[in-house]
């Protein structure tokens, strides 16, 4: 792979990263050995053999990683970052009980701007150290989440919540939408933050509010991110109450489109899948959270066979309990095999694409992210392949998917800027973040509360 305009490339560039292997995602199923990535003004300007790169470019910063693999930064397409402060609070509990008896009461008591700031910093640090460079977040005080991500140099899709009832962040659908669009205005010039609609779920948002979200999203040409068909009970309850399945209702209200991200999707029939296919909507698969809460599993193999884009998310750390996208893509690959009885289901390349390019597609960012190609933003991670537990190396992609890799991510760049070097974060103080997390634990578990 080389650039198509080599005669116009600057001799002086910002950064040159050389590595033992590069997995660019596009072209598909390509592994480049002993290649380099040239970066200038935040973009990839060339990918070529290291020997040629050293002759062509004078880099202000160069790094040689002969025992590392470079690949696109992972994209965590669904989560609730601040809920990292509830990690492990109510494990081994069914979903409704988990929500109604543990999480919702805790949120009502503890969640404020300070909680969201500290919890989001904890989550962002964890994600960066495990290879994620872009995340989607749905939570209260999205203005705070957006600022934390921006300050950390991390890319984020901020999905502001919409509910039919009052919460700590809003009073009614109009209030949520007004506040959310104000956050979007505040970050409209950001290179890192993209603010979109996040109606919570069909069972928490009315027809009128969903129609308004659909109308505004179409007018503003922005995405919609929504939990849907998370459990069979959710589907059965809506059929009993309204006489139709949630996806059919969303379709009738105009919510389904190529700009829609459907999260979880565990309880699907053939009609549901056909609706998603015809609408061009995307599915966000959260296998570990769904398994832990016994919610079911998303039929990834069937969806992909129908041409439906499937991306991956971790969900929140309160129900996962980690934000490790390498663990998530490994789980997705293994679950697809056991669910179908087909050992070839969601193979290693497909799993890696689900955690990179498919996430970019779901967020309408595939022109910028998800693969290492000339002209795209330089969102890159480096994974150390020199460790004992990774030997021997036959296929680098198989190694990424089926061998624990998060703790071996050593460097990352977002928009061409280095945000981690030798596992040290550039903009976040890990010691301070850990201390705040422990302070929240002590406060939440204090007997006087």
Q: Are 136 and 225 in contact (CB under 8 A)?
A: yes
Residue 395 has pLDDT above 80, yes or no: yes
| pLDDT for position 432 | 97
Local structure of 412: helix, strand or coil:
strand
Residue 4 has pLDDT above 50, yes or no: no
| pLDDT for position 94 | 78
* Domains, the chain, with CATH or none: 6-72+377-415 (2.30.40.10), 74-362 (3.20.20.140)
Q: Rounded CA gap, 296 and 314, in Å?
A: 15
pLDDT digit string (tens) for 52-103?
Answer: 999 999 999 999 999 999 999 999 999 999 999 999 888 888 777 887 888 8
Average of per-residue pLDDT across 310-333: 95
Q: Which among 255, 191, 224, 177 is positioned nearest to 414, based on CA atoms?
A: 191
In sequence order, the 6+-apart residues with CB closer than 8 A to the CB of 375 are 43, 44
Q: Are 400 and 326 in contact (CB under 8 A)?
A: yes
Q: From residue 104, give the alpha-carbon distance in Å to each of 168, 173, 237.
A: 11, 19, 20
Structure-model confidence comparison of residues 309 and 91, the more confident one: 309
The chain-wide mean pLDDT, for the chain, equals 94
| pLDDT for position 242 | 94
| pLDDT for position 319 | 87
Residue 10 has pLDDT above 70, yes or no: no
- Range of weakest confidence among 8-22, 132-146, 186-200: 8-22
Residue 256 has pLDDT above 80, yes or no: yes
| pLDDT for position 8 | 59
Q: Are 308 and 276 in contact (CB under 8 A)?
A: yes
Percent of the chain residues topping a pLDDT of 70: 97
Local structure of 435: helix, strand or coil:
helix
Q: How confident is the model at residue 2 (pLDDT cuts 50, 70, 90)?
A: very low
| pLDDT for position 389 | 87
Exposure class string for 374-408: b at 16+ Cβ within 10 A, else e: bebbbbbbbbbbeeeebeeeeebbebbbbbebbbb
| pLDDT for position 93 | 82
Percent of the chain residues topping a pLDDT of 90: 88
Residue 448 has pLDDT above 80, yes or no: no
Q: Rounded CA gap, 54 and 44, in Å?
A: 16
pTM: 0.95
In sequence order, the 6+-apart residues with CB closer than 8 A to the CB of 436 are 118, 121, 122
| pLDDT for position 91 | 85
* Burial tier of 105 (Cβ tally within 10 Å: 0-12, 13-18, 19+): exposed
């Amino acid at each position: 792979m080389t650039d198509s305009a080599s005669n116009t490339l600057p001799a002086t560039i910002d950064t040159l990263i050389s590595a033992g292997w590069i997995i660019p995602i596009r072209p598909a199923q390509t592994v480049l050995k002993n290649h380099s990535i040239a970066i200038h003004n935040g973009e990839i300007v060339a990918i070529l053999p290291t020997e040629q790169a050293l002759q062509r470019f004078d880099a202000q910063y160069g790094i040689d990683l002969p025992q590392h693999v470079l690949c696109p930064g992972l994209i965590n397409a669904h989560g609730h970052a601040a809920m990292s402060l509830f990690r492990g609070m109510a494990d081994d509990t069914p979903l409704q009980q988990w929500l109604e008896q543990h999480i919702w009461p805790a949120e009502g008591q503890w969640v404020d701007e300070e909680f969201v700031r500290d919890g989001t910093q904890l989550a962002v640090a964890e994600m960066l150290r495990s290879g994620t460079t872009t995340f989607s977040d749905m939570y209260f005080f999205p203005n705070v989440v957006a600022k934390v991500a921006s300050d950390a140099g991390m890319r984020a899709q901020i999905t502001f919540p919409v509910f039919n009832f009052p919460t700590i962040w809003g009073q009614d659908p109009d209030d949520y939408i007004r506040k959310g669009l104000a956050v979007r205005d505040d970050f409209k010039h950001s290179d890192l933050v993209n603010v979109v609609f996040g109606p919570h779920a069909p069972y928490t948002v009315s027809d009128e509010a969903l129609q308004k979200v659909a109308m505004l999203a179409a007018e503003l040409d922005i995405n919609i991110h929504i939990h849907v068909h998370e459990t069979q009970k959710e589907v059965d309850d809506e059929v009993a109450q309204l006489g139709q399945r949630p996806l059919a209702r969303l379709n009738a209200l105009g919510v389904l489109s190529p700009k829609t991200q459907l999260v979880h999707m565990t309880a699907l029939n053939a009609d549901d899948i056909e609706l998603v296919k015809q609408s061009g909507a995307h599915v966000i698969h959260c296998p570990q959270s769904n398994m832990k809460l016994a919610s079911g599993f998303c039929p990834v193999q069937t969806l992909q066979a129908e041409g439906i884009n499937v991306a991956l998310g971790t969900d929140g750390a309160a129900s996962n309990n980690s934000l490790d996208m390498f663990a998530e893509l490994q789980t997705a690959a293994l679950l697809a095999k056991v669910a179908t009885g087909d050992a070839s289901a969601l193979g290693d390349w497909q799993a890696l694409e689900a955690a990179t390019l498919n996430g970019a597609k779901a967020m309408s960012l595939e022109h910028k992210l998800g693969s290492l190609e000339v002209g795209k933003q330089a969102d890159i991670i480096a994974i150390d392949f020199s460790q004992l537990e990774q030997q021997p190396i036959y296929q680098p992609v198989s190694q990424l998917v089926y061998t624990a890799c998060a703790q071996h991510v050593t460097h990352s760049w977002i928009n061409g800027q280095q945000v981690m070097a030798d596992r040290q974060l550039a903009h976040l103080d890990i010691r301070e973040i850990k201390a705040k997390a422990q302070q929240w634990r002590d406060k939440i578990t204090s007997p006087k509360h």
